[in-house]
Structure 1
Amino acid sequence: MARAAEIDIVSVSKVYGRTTAVDNISLKIPSGSYCCLLGPSGCGKSSTLRMIAGHESISTGDIRLGPVVVTDLPPAKRGTAMMFQSYALFPHLDLVDNVAFSLKMRGVAKPERRAKALDMLKLMHMEAYADRRPAQLSGGQQQRVALARALITGPEALLLDEPLSALDPFLKVRMRAELKKLQASLGITFVHVTHSQEEAMALADLIVVMNDGRIEQAAAPRTVFERPSTGFVARFMGDHNVVSGRVTAAENGRVTVQVPGRGSFAALGAPREIGSAADIGIRIDHVRLGAGEEPHLGFSGTVANIEYRGGSVKLSVSGAGLDDFTAILRDRDFYAQPIAVGELVALHWDLADTLVLGRLDS
């Protein structure tokens, strides 16, 4: 197997006519890491992956794989391999010939390429199915064959375009674990496109959150979860309430923001100009029932919706100028004093569970 390589994306843009799909992004993906490009549909993550692979041209900027600038190299010369969302297996070939196909295109002799293909199928625990056709396999088995085919060339980086999207929920969880184990055992760089926050959190060493062709945040999963850098990241990851307003006070590492004409809320953060627009984030799982003692760290509102989630209960509350404020409560706390939709409740939290969020346009 080839060595792993660092991927360096330098000021890369992709423009289709008047549409900018990827807008001047720069990113270093460490050698041997598992990187997930995460974001909603149309954010530029698949275009970025395809530019790394060489399946899309780069409008401006460069991409390096290790020390080599691969910007103008064809896919076969880059040292990468790509696994497509559809798996793209050949229905008329058995598994050995499917896996060996790229070696056949390189002129490798039949006995050698078939032997290597069998080795790859063994790595994927699929050798018992070697003489079957793709249609005779389950979705998870087809995925393993597609992985074997991508890895047989010994790439320095494996690129995966939403590889779990076609699988049922139970199989997705199992295949997540297998992908993580495979990446750790091979030690090569994986770059994985997904729109699933849960998938990215489970797999990645590095999560890159994209929006509208730009990178909003690139960090370790725990950092993205606990300290989202922008309001978009906080909303997309779903772990923080985002409150938007104008700064009314800023001192001693504490910023107070007023929602237009309504409540005021405090958060930890660097000083901001009085009157400037600001977003603050409040951890949804650290919100508690009852009135708090500190000002600007709670409010009273009306329960708009209740969702039972097994070990927890999700409350949606409206009040103090906030239309949809979320609190995740432990089920035993909720059922100790059950609440109904339409009731008035008080909520509070600690200052440590807040932060002032950045803005890309600021």
Structure 2
Amino acid sequence: MTKAAEIELAAVTKVYGAATAVHAISLKIPAGTYCCLLGPSGCGKTSTLRMVAGHESVSSGDVLFGNANVTDLPPAQRGTAMMFQSYALFPHLDLVDNVAFSLKMKGVDKEARRAQALEMLKLMQLEAYAERRPAQLSGGQQQRVALARALITRPEALLLDEPLSALDPFLKIRMRAELKKLQTSLGITFVHVTHSQEEAMALADLIVVMNEGRIEQADTPRAVFERPATAFVARFMGDHNVLSGRIMERTAEGLFIEVIGGGRFFALGAAPVDHDQADIAIRTDHVRIGAAPADGLGFDGIVSNVEYLGAKVKLTVTTAFTDEFTAVLTDAAFFASPVRVGEGVTLSWDQPDSIVLGRIVK
């Protein structure tokens, strides 16, 4: 089995002219981890991946693989392989020669490199297509060829730049399963850039949520989902409502905030004592309709949108203090007491479903 790389970024910064794309981020990715860099366009995730790969210079800070500082090493000397979003396959070469290309550049003799290429194609279940050219393959098959070409060098880490973005939704789900299975069987470190929350949740052992060149949270998928670290993470992951307001009271368990437009809400946790403002998050799928709320754990509003999504129904509620408060109900719960757009509703939740969020200092 190929050795896996432990990757560490130590205060890594990337500056393009007057713009800072990555702000002194520090991150440790354990060996053999499937890590997803997640965030919106322009958040710095691809720049970070390219600095790990060596395709982009580091403005300041260090990139470490194990105990080795690789900051100034070229890509070929890092023990990594990169799979690009476009796949970048050679249209005039058959699959064997596409996969074997990097070995050819290293001077491996033809018979040996073709044997290794066929072995990789077999791993990807593409040996039957060995003599075809890329244009004769489906999108999913082309992706597997690109993976085979990247893996033939036996890298310690595979770096993937939005590898599923060009695929249709059904194929994305299939390829997600194949990527995870492949990473588990090879045991090497995968670092995967994506803007899809669902993709990151399905694949990653470690999710790194980035925003404006900074890391907002790096944790397991479950921790990111259930306990977002900041308002940005809570909003970006889409599973929490976020309310911001002035701290009115602190208790042993949490605090009460008052939001502009009215409304007093409780959340578990604490904010720094020198802060008079706080952000709180409320789980969308734990919001109920109809039940009378306890103090600080609900409100009355008007239904502004209803989306039927099969197993669940998404309600959007408007109030004086927010235009969009979301409740995600099971279809059974919704249809037991359905509501329509324009109707008034009472929303409530339990104390554990409302938490105080942290804030990134910029």
Give the structure-1-normalised TM-score. 0.98
* Residues 46-195 of structure 1: pairs in structure 2 closer than 5 A: 46-195=46-195
**Matched residues in 2 for 1:263 and 1:291: separation?**
17
The letter of the residue matching 1:69 is N
Match of 1:282 in 2: 282
Match of 1:316 in 2: 316
Superimposed CA distance per residue, residues 56-85 of structure 1 (whole angstroms, 9 cap, x where no aligned partner): 000000101112111000100000000000
The letter of the residue matching 2:304 is A
**Matched residues in 2 for 1:264 and 1:322: separation?**
13
Superimposed CA distance per residue, residues 220-268 of structure 1 (whole angstroms, 9 cap, x where no aligned partner): 0000000000000000000100001110001111210110241011000
**Matched residues in 1 for 2:302 and 2:293: separation?**
20
Give yes or no for the alignment of 1:209 onto 2:209: yes
Match of 2:299 in 1: 299
Q: Structure 1 residue 2: deviation in Å?
A: 2.6
Match of 1:4 in 2: 4
SS at match of 1:323: coil
Superimposed CA distance per residue, residues 312-332 of structure 1 (whole angstroms, 9 cap, x where no aligned partner): 110000114121000001112
Superimposed CA distance per residue, residues 174-216 of structure 1 (whole angstroms, 9 cap, x where no aligned partner): 0000000000000000000000000000000000000000000
Aligned partners of 1:290 and 1:346 also within 8 Å: yes
Aligned partners of 1:161 and 1:192 also within 8 Å: yes
Q: Could you say what the CA RMSD is over the residues aligned between the two structures, in angstroms?
A: 1.1
**Matched residues in 1 for 2:129 and 2:93: separation?**
13
SS at match of 1:64: strand
**Matched residues in 2 for 1:27 and 1:226: separation?**
21
Q: Structure 1 residue 22: deviation in Å?
A: 0.5
The letter of the residue matching 1:199 is E
Q: Can you give the 5+ residue segments of structure 2 that lack an aligned partner in the other structure?
A: none
Question: Comparing 293-302 with 240-249, which one deviates more in the overlay?
Answer: 293-302
Aligned partners of 1:248 and 1:274 also within 8 Å: no
Superimposed CA distance per residue, residues 1-29 of structure 1 (whole angstroms, 9 cap, x where no aligned partner): 53001001000000000111111000000
Aligned partners of 1:291 and 1:299 also within 8 Å: no
**Matched residues in 2 for 1:110 and 1:267: separation?**
65
Aligned partners of 1:247 and 1:272 also within 8 Å: no
Aligned partners of 1:250 and 1:274 also within 8 Å: no
**Matched residues in 2 for 1:99 and 1:122: separation?**
12
**Matched residues in 2 for 1:273 and 1:264: separation?**
19
User: Given the superposition, is the C-alpha separation of residues 22 and 271 from structure 1 closer, same or farther in structure 2, using an over 3 Å criterion?
Assistant: closer
Aligned partners of 1:134 and 1:142 also within 8 Å: yes
Superimposed CA distance per residue, residues 23-67 of structure 1 (whole angstroms, 9 cap, x where no aligned partner): 100000000010000000000000000000000000000101112
**Matched residues in 1 for 2:252 and 2:320: separation?**
25
Superimposed CA distance per residue, residues 252-300 of structure 1 (whole angstroms, 9 cap, x where no aligned partner): 1121011024101100012554871110000000000124341110000
Q: Can you give the 5+ residue segments of structure 1 that lack an aligned partner in the other structure?
A: none
Aligned partners of 2:314 and 2:329 also within 8 Å: yes
User: Given the superposition, is the C-alpha separation of residues 288 and 70 from structure 1 closer, same or farther in structure 2, using an over 3 Å criterion?
Assistant: same
**Matched residues in 1 for 2:98 and 2:56: separation?**
24
**Matched residues in 1 for 2:186 and 2:275: separation?**
53
Match of 2:221 in 1: 221
Give the structure-2-normalised TM-score. 0.98
Match of 1:347 in 2: 347
* Residues 331-342 of structure 1: pairs in structure 2 closer than 5 A: 331-342=331-342
Aligned partners of 1:244 and 1:280 also within 8 Å: yes
Superimposed CA distance per residue, residues 99-156 of structure 1 (whole angstroms, 9 cap, x where no aligned partner): 0000000000000000000000000000000000000000000000000000000000
SS at match of 2:98: helix
The letter of the residue matching 1:307 is E
Aligned partners of 1:250 and 1:256 also within 8 Å: yes
Match of 2:200 in 1: 200
SS at match of 1:175: helix
Aligned partners of 1:306 and 1:315 also within 8 Å: yes
SS at match of 1:179: helix
Match of 1:247 in 2: 247
Q: How many matched pairs?
A: 362
The letter of the residue matching 1:257 is I
SS at match of 2:324: strand
The letter of the residue matching 1:71 is T
**Matched residues in 2 for 1:293 and 1:6: separation?**
48
Aligned partners of 2:2 and 2:187 also within 8 Å: no
User: Given the superposition, is the C-alpha separation of residues 15 and 275 from structure 1 closer, same or farther in structure 2, using an over 3 Å criterion?
Assistant: closer
